[in-house]
């Protein structure tokens, strides 16, 4: 039987810490989420499948590239402007001597900080407000010194996200593998595609939830009809770049860069179960695969189980993002959560 890890979230993977900075109110609706290795570095891969990605330093994650490990992963709002948050993270790490050594002294390092962004511009009411250097630095300091617990919902990079007309957010899930290893996912859900079965109103991801997780009911038909009417009132087709779902899939098993890329690819399989359509021209869907290397490398049988669980964790994290999200109204718009749109289901 599949069971979640101790907290059913990304921090069940030994060796990771997280920092989040949320920007809300006075025209803001955005934020940043930073994932760090407590050991200073971790092996990583990436799989970009959306048609409109916004990324930084993902080429370094190619298995043929020289650098073998990264120091942080940054997920941010703000579209391409939000990539500046990674500069703040890099400065915080560099000041502590954390990075790729390029000289004879400990301070001569270049932090390796891949990043990806979602589109949330204007959702708080002011298009010109977006997270930058100081917001990234703040999230990095939180990860380095405060050892934040993982909060899900409308926080960090998930603050201004929307999914299929519903309020999106951050969701996370983990699985304990038979040998005691952990695989976990964190998702920043901001999708153009639908996250519900439009025949029933049920979450597409709901069937993958474990017995220890919320059990959802089929919602009443009146709630579904009200939701569909709301969707019809939206301006479609949406303009390009207004979406993008990001995710991190991590394990404490030793993996190579190539295997981390395969781990990220398995995460995309899970994303496709919870969002339809997925990987569109108007999404920049990007998933990072991470290994903290706290446990020995898996054999072929264990790798099979790892990849299977990775996809399931992403699907469950999609459900958790939607169930953790809260409705919000700003000068830039109004978005209802799944719980408020389908109260009979929750």
For the stretch 60-80, pLDDT in tens is: 999 999 999 999 999 999 999
pLDDT score of 235: 53
Mean pLDDT value across residues 281-305: 96
Residue 234 has pLDDT above 70, yes or no: no
Mean pLDDT value across residues 171-189: 97
Q: How far is CA 208 from CA 124, 271, 342, in A?
A: 33, 12, 19
| Contact predicate 198/324, CB 8 Å | no
Least confident of 38-52, 130-144, 184-198, 229-243: 229-243
Angle between helices 257-274 and 300-324 (to 10 degrees): 40
In angstroms, how far is CA 244 from the centroid of its own chain? 10
Residue 281 has pLDDT above 50, yes or no: yes
Euclidean distance between CA atoms 247 and 258, whole angstroms = 18
Residue 97 has pLDDT above 80, yes or no: yes
Q: What is the percent of the chain where pLDDT is above 90? A: 92
Q: Name the band, by pLDDT with cuts 50, 70 and 90, for residue 238.
A: very low
pLDDT score of 328: 97
Residue 157 has pLDDT above 70, yes or no: yes
pLDDT score of 237: 47
pLDDT score of 146: 73
Residue 225 has pLDDT above 80, yes or no: yes
Does 155 sit behind a cis peptide bond, omega within 30 degrees of 0 on the bond before it? no
pLDDT score of 149: 87
Backbone angles phi, psi at 196, to 5 degrees: -125, 160
| Contact predicate 326/334, CB 8 Å | no
Mean pLDDT value across residues 223-247: 76
Phi-psi region of 153 (alpha: psi -120 to 50; beta: other; left: phi over 0): left
| Contact predicate 249/263, CB 8 Å | yes
Residue 326 has pLDDT above 70, yes or no: yes
Residue 1 has pLDDT above 80, yes or no: no
Q: DSSP string of 222-276? A: HHHHHHHHHHHHS-SSPPTTS---EEEEEEEE---HHHHHHHHHHHHHHHHHHSB
pLDDT score of 229: 87
Q: Name the band, by pLDDT with cuts 50, 70 and 90, for residue 240.
A: very low
pLDDT score of 66: 93
Mean pLDDT value across residues 141-157: 91
Q: Does domain 10-341 have CATH number 3.60.70.12?
A: yes
Mean pLDDT value across residues 236-259: 84
Mean pLDDT value across residues 328-340: 96
Higher pLDDT, 231 or 179: 179
Whole-model pTM: value is 0.97
**Mean pLDDT in the chain?**
95
* C-alpha neighbours within 13 Å on the C-beta side of residue 82: 33
């Amino acid at each position: 039987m599949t069971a979640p890890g101790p907290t059913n979230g990304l921090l069940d993977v030994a060796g990771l810490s997280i920092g989040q900075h949320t920007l809300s109110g006075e025209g803001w609706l955005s934020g940043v989420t930073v994932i760090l290795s407590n050991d200073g570095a971790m092996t990583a891969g990436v799989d970009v499948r959306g048609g409109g990605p916004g990324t930084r330093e993902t080429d370094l994650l190619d298995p043929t590239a020289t650098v073998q490990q990264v120091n942080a992963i940054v997920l941010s709002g703000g579209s391409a402007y939000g990539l500046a948050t990674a500069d703040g993270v890099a400065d915080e790490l560099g000041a502590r001597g954390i990075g790729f050594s390029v000289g004879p002294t400990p301070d001569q390092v270049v932090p390796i900080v891949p990043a990806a962004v979602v589109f949330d511009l204007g959702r708080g009411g002011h298009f010109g407000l977006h997270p930058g250097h100081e917001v990234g630095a703040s999230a990095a300091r939180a990860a380095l010194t405060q050892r934040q617990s993982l909060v899900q919902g409308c926080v960090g990079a998930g603050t201004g996200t929307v999914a299929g007309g519903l309020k999106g957010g951050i969701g996370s899930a983990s699985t304990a593998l038979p040998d005691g290893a952990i695989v976990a996912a964190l998702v920043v859900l901001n999708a153009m595609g639908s996250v519900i079965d439009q025949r029933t109103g049920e979450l597409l991801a709901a069937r993958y939830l474990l017995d220890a997780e919320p059990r959802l009911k089929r919602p009443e038909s009146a709630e579904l009809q009200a939701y569909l009417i709301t969707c019809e009132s939206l301006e479609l087709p949406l303009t390009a770049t207004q979406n993008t779902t990001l995710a991190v899939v991590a394990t404490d098993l030793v993996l190579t860069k190539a295997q981390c890329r395969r781990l990220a690819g398995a995460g995309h399989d899970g994303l496709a179960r919870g969002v339809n359509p997925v990987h569109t021209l108007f999404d920049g869907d990007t998933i990072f695969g991470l290994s903290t290397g706290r446990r020995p490398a898996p054999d072929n049988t264990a790798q099979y189980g790892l990849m299977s669980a990775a996809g399931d964790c992403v699907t469950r994290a999609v459900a958790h993002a939607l169930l953790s999200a809260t409705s919000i109204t700003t000068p830039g718009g109004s978005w209802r959560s799944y719980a408020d749109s389908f109260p009979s289901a929750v």
